[in-house]
Copies of this chain bind each other. A is one copy, B any other.
């Protein structure tokens, strides 16, 4: 149960917050004309959000995967992870664990490790999976329901397989789902006739398939911008002293 920072009323729902997570009841928010009295940022409806980082593991550095698109995807993943941590929102790391010792995802191999910069910090959740979907065999749905999370933002690897499968299930299970297009990436694929499909094509078709049907697809910075339309002050401390 949260309290309004201004009138100290307990709030079950209907709360608003700024990009620094100063939280107010709807009445105080109206009296402030939707402007945070601390930082001057816009107050927007507070929704419980979770960031899913899927399979951001060293296994995908292996040359066996072939050509990849979006070489800067990890930078965008780090950008959104940093924003999420600053806001104190729910971070969930989905980690692939293979049971086959020869797999690059087996815990005995380097590939099982998180990529540089993606190690979880205290308070973040790590769930392990052994199939593509982050929702199968992980308890993820129950975990999200327990936390009252209704909105999920998905980043990680790879777009056509684990990202697409997890985003499909997220949408179909009723979560408002976002996939950040520049914080995901694909590798070349070989079709059933043996033809190679280019990583960029696979990435684009995968995202087009998700967009508007299972999820909203947009860039990482556009997601943050849409959340806090006037957010100019990522370096501000809020509430101000």
Measured CB to CB, the residues of A under 8 A from B are: 131-133, 136, 160-161, 164-165, 168-169, 171-173, 181, 189-192, 197, 201-202, 204-209, 211-214, 217-218
Contact = CB atoms under 8 A, between A and B. Distances in A.
Contacts of A217: 192
B208 A172 contact: no
Contact of A206 (B131, B132, B136, B205): B205
Given A132-B172, A201-B205, A161 B192 contact: no
A169 B167 CA distance: 12
Contacts of A190: 208, 212
B202 A209 contact: yes
A197 B210 CA distance: 13
Contacts of A213: 132, 161
Contact of A209 (B136, B161, B181): B161
Contacts of A218: 192
A197 B208 contact: yes
Contact of A160 (B133, B201, B209): B209
B192 A207 contact: yes
A136 B133 CA distance: 14
A102 to B, nearest CB: 17
A132 B206 CA distance: 15
Contacts of A165: 168-169, 172, 214
Nearest to A203: B205
Nearest to A173: B136
Nearest to A131: B172
A205 to B, nearest CB: 4
List 9 tightest A-B contacts by C-beta distance, closest first. Answer: A191-B208, A131-B172, A205-B205, A160-B209, A192-B217, A165-B168, A192-B211, A136-B172, A189-B208
B204 A133 contact: no
A67 to B, nearest CB: 15
Contact of A191 (B173, B192, B197, B207): B207
A14 B197 CA distance: 40
Contacts of A192: 181, 207-208, 211, 217-218
A168 B181 CA distance: 21
